[in-house]
Amino acid sequence: MNILFLTLLDFSTIKTSGIYTDLMREFLKEEHNVYIISPTEKRKQQPTNIIDKGNYKILKLQIGNIQKTNFIEKGISTITLESQFLKGIKKYFSNVKFDLVIYSTPPITLQKAVAYVKFRDNAKAYLLLKDIFPQNAVDLGLLTTTGIKSVLYNYFRNKEKELYKLSDYIGCMSKANVDFLLTHNPGIPPEIVEICPNSIEPLTIKKDEKRIAEVKEKYNIPLDKTVFIYGGNLGKPQGIDFLMECLKANKENQHVYFIIAGSGTEFNKLKTFFKKENLKNAQLFAQLPKDDYESLANSCDVGLIFLDKRFTIPNFPSRLLSYMQASMPVIAATDNNTDLGKVIEKGDFGYWCQSGDLRAFNQHVELLCDTDMRKRMGENAKAYLNNNYTAKHSYEIIMRHF
């Protein structure tokens, strides 16, 4: 089969680890031909070009700036995406007949590009639903369903509906995502919606105590404390205010140490907080190179996940997978609508509390200071990952339709 994959993720090879690159490698293992459109933002000043790797090709398509820019530029760049993707397909893949087009949200604005391939080639269209927009923006107060901002909301909501209507199959991250989608979009046939979770090709990570000690010494992390790490995006969706409450509440805790590593719109807010509170048992890192971050993360003991308590949509952060891969138990502080906590507790590899429940969070921290508890839950995390969230699982879910 000829597979076309549309994504906003910027990569030049599928040898790197990630939920999409790992999935594409599964298609290559089964000898499919893979074509990928992976854009590069204008700020990088890289002209559009094709990377030909033989059995897969990546179209590096120059687009406007979407990440780390102002709301207006991001909006314009998002709206123009589909025309740019469509032009790229017509110019560079005009002689390829696709059997399957796979695309992920965000964004929801690739409808015209997907429709073109679907109807030109009689291809099937599979949506990997990783984000429910524009409702997530409404939850955070960035858009409204009434007033001046409702114009944008209605535009994007119509785009969302068109994309669902165009999709032959919709793969959701969890059961809660399936339920939310069908409840709020009654026109979608239930039989085309299924669970196709975030997944990776798990790596074997050996816990080398000597190497862990070296990494901790490099970053001035104490050897005699339980180290909790939050790594990833530091933006409004993460509910950074509660993260700061948790750090402040534990600043006198002699048994724990916190690592916060990442980037995003709330990074400077965190930086100011760290300076003001003069935390002795926590460090804040700007986004580290991938290898450095992985070495640091794999030397920690417990993974942290935070989501804003205002969310009505059920998010399921892919960050969970890297913690599980490293055999780390997890504490998740989220809204009530995600089923992330149910999954963690069902698999017995961590704890969940509602974002804002400081008492429950602190109780979970104390429980995971126990070495035997961490070891048992860490082993459960890796086993649950291998049994449920591998790229091979996702590949088989998609391909059983063909």
SS3 of the chain: helix, strand, coil, percent, to 5: 45, 20, 35
Structure confidence at residue 263 (pLDDT): 87
Each residue's pLDDT tens digit, 168-196: 999 999 999 999 999 999 999 999 999 99
pLDDT bracket for residue 63 (50, 70, 90): confident
Average pLDDT over residues 236-262: 93
User: Tens digits of per-residue pLDDT, 371-387?
Assistant: 999 999 999 999 999 99
Q: What is the mean pLDDT of the chain?
A: 92
Rg of the chain on CA atoms, in Å: 21
Mean pLDDT to the nearest integer, 113-117: 94
Is residue 121 scored above 90 in pLDDT? yes
Q: What is the mean pLDDT of residues 38-55?
A: 88
Residues 289-323 have pLDDT tens digits of 788 888 888 899 999 999 999 999 999 999 999 99
Eight-state DSSP code of residue 319:
H
Q: How far is Cα 63 from Cα 27, in angstroms, rounded to an integer?
A: 27
* pLDDT of res. 294: 86
pLDDT of residue 293: 86
pLDDT at 77 over 80: no
pLDDT tens across 190-215, in order?
999 999 999 999 988 888 888 888 88
| 165 pLDDT above the threshold of 70 | yes
List, in order of start, the domains of the chain with CATH numbers. Answer: 2-196 (3.40.50.2000), 209-388 (3.40.50.2000)
Query: Has this prediction a pTM greater than 0.85?
Result: yes
Cβ atoms of residues 44 and 5 within 8 Å: no
Band of pLDDT at residue 233, cut at 50, 70 and 90: confident
pLDDT exceeds 80 at position 67 = no
pLDDT at position 68, please?
A: 66
Q: According to the model, what pLDDT value does residue 177 have? A: 95
Burial track 339-348 (b if 16+ CB lie within 10 A, e otherwise): bbbebbeebe
Lowest pLDDT segment from 28-37, 260-269, 273-282, 287-296? 287-296
Q: Please report, for residues 76, 235, 316, the alpha-carbon distance to residue 143 in angstroms, rounded to integers and kept in the order given.
A: 15, 16, 21
Which tokens sit at 17? 């680890």
Of the pLDDT bands very low, low, confident and very high (cuts 50, 70, 90), residue 142 is confident
**What pLDDT is recorded for position 66?**
75
Instruction: Render pLDDT for 82-107 as a digit per residue (tens, 0 to 9).
Output: 888 999 999 999 999 999 999 998 87
pLDDT at 264: 85
- Three-state secondary structure along 349-388? CEEEEECCCHHHHHHHHHHCCCHHHHHHHHHHHHHHHHHH
Lowest mean pLDDT among 56-65, 160-169, 241-250: 56-65
